[in-house]
Structure 1
Amino acid sequence: MNKNNFIIKNSHKSDYTTIYNKFIQDKDINLELLGLGCRLLNKPPNWVININQLSYELNIGKDKLLRLINRMIELGYMYRHKKDIAFVSRGELKNMYYFSDDKELLNKTTESFRSVATTPQLSLSTFPTEDSPSMITPSLDIPVVETPNVEDTSHNNTSYYKDIIEKEDTQKETILTNNLSIRNYLKEILDAHTIVNLLAAKPDLTIEEFKKLYEMVKLEFQGGHCNNINACLIRAAGGKWNFRHSVSNNSNDDEAKTHRVLKSRISYYIDYFRIGSCSKDEILGKFLSESQKYDENLVSSYYEQLKVQLESN
Structure 2
Amino acid sequence: MNFIIKNHHKNNYTIIYNRFLQDKDLNLELKGFGGYLLNKPPNWIININQLSCELNVGKDKILRLINRMIELGYMYRHKKDVAFVGKGELKNLYYFCDDKELLNKTTEPFRSVATPPQLSLSTFPPLEAPSMDTAPLESPVVVTPSMENTSHTNINYYKKDIEKEDNNKKKTQLTTNLSIRPYLKEILDDFTIVNLLNAKPDLTVDEFIVLYEKATLEFKGGYCNNINSCLVKAAGGKWTFRYNISNSSSNDDTKNHRVLKGKLNYYIDYFGVGSCSKDEILGKFLNECQKYDENLVNPYYRQLKEKLESN
TM-score normalised per structure 1:
0.46
Q: Give me the TM-score of the superposition, normalised by structure 2.
A: 0.47
